[in-house]
Amino acid sequence: QIRGWQSFFVHAVGKGGPDDAASPQEFDGPTQQAFRTAGVDLDRLKGNGRAYWGEGGEIIKTRDRIIHGVAKACGHTPTEEQLGAAKYATLGYLVRLMFDFHRGQNVGAVVLKGKFDTEGRPLLLVRTQCMADAAEHGSFYRTALELGVVKHVCNLYA
């Protein structure tokens, strides 16, 4: 199983980090539109809209392989309640590993309807996977702070 996890991170996810960041054109359409609406220069930001979780995503597939592999190795058939708890816990660990090691510059943004800054620009809600590399030159998070795109931060995985 360990080799499978390593393979997942190396092959399916890639190296990640600011040096491996996608071009601005790889932000998903709604995120590009949100940044443009708020007057953000997309040429200054590196990131992408790839998501590895969600139904059918690589993290979900890996989570399920881990859970079923451990249950089989232990000779145990989990109840629905145990299976649900295992799915939740395993997904959390995999997402955290991805944040810490992949550093994939994954970003999404939406315009907050009816909310504006003091200069009249629309406010954005920006979701990122980029906390682990905040201090690295060229990271989305650092550049967004320098450009003033991000004013307040809430780290849900600290």
Q: Which residue has the higher pLDDT, 112 or 6?
A: 112
Provide DSSP, 10-22.
IIII---SGGGPP
Q: Which residues contact 127 (CB under 8 A, 6 or more apart)?
A: 107, 108, 109
Instruction: Please report the pLDDT score of residue 127 as a whole number.
Output: 83
- Sorting pLDDT into bands at 50, 70 and 90, what band is 13? very low
Give the integer Cα–Cα distance in Å for 93 and 25.
Answer: 30
Asked if residue 152 has pLDDT above 80, the reply is no
Least confident of 40-44, 66-70, 78-82, 127-131: 127-131
- Sorting pLDDT into bands at 50, 70 and 90, what band is 25? low
Give the integer Cα–Cα distance in Å for 92 and 105.
Answer: 18
Give the integer Cα–Cα distance in Å for 141 and 134.
Answer: 5
Give the integer Cα–Cα distance in Å for 117 and 40.
Answer: 13
Least confident of 82-86, 90-94, 146-150: 146-150
Question: Could you say which DSSP state residue 118 is in?
Answer: T
Give the integer Cα–Cα distance in Å for 71 and 42.
Answer: 46
Q: Measured in Å, how far apart are the chain's first and last C-alpha atoms?
A: 27
Q: pTM for the whole thing?
A: 0.63
With vertex at residue 11, the alpha carbon angle to CA 133 and CA 141, rounded to the nearest 5 degrees, is 15
Q: Which residue has the higher pLDDT, 13 or 44?
A: 44
